[in-house]
Amino acid sequence: MAKVPIYEKLGKMSTKKLSAEVGKRQINLERFEFATSDTIRSLSKLENEIKRVEKRIVNSLEKDNTAEALSDILQLRVLRVEEMVELSGLSILRANRFYNKLHLDVAKGIEAGVLYDEESIKGMVPDDLKNVVSTSVDASNFYDILRKYKSKLNQFAPKEEEDES
């Protein structure tokens, strides 16, 4: 069964339910805006930490302190993974924030008597958001990322002895 478009779903609601939907979406939108701001702050802190560790790596290498440099490189890898996670989360937050904003705008429009159709809704979605969401989904395919490292990691795994029975 196909999903009912939001303009049809909202258009069938009573005035009271539509008003409640507007309130609910407004609260959700504020939550997603706060979470987005929080994630951006977290990314900023991560960027600063990454720059600090990169400088430490360079200093360690200049002093021929290989052990310290390797330790910092491993820490940098962890920070980069955290950065990827935060960026993925940010993409999801932005998509959810947009969805709630769209829902809110359509609900307020219906309250004001605006009629919507599929084309008018499509026109409300910016092209850059369509691109961000599609690349975000592609980027979250971790199996391809892990496959690239599988052969490298296999060299460190103990070799299994074959059964001669």
- Position 164 scores a pLDDT of 47
Q: Summarize the confidence of residues 32-47 as an average pLDDT.
A: 95
Give, in degrees to the nearest 5, the angle at Cα 86 between 26 and 90. 30
Domain boundaries, the chain: 15-152
The answer to whether 57 and 76 have CB atoms below 8 angstroms apart is yes
Alpha-carbon Rg for the chain in angstroms: 24
- Least Cα distance to 52 among 81, 76, 87, 77 occurs for 76
Say how many CA atoms lie within 13 Å of 98 toward its Cβ.
Answer: 17
pLDDT beyond 90 at 51: yes
Q: Which of 24-33, 84-93, 136-145 has the highest mean pLDDT?
A: 24-33
Cβ neighbour number for residue 138 with a 10 Å cutoff: 9
As a whole number, the mean pLDDT across the chain is 83
User: Which pLDDT tens digit goes with each residue over 111-164?
Assistant: 999 998 888 888 888 777 766 655 554 555 555 555 655 665 565 555 655 444
- Position 165 scores a pLDDT of 45
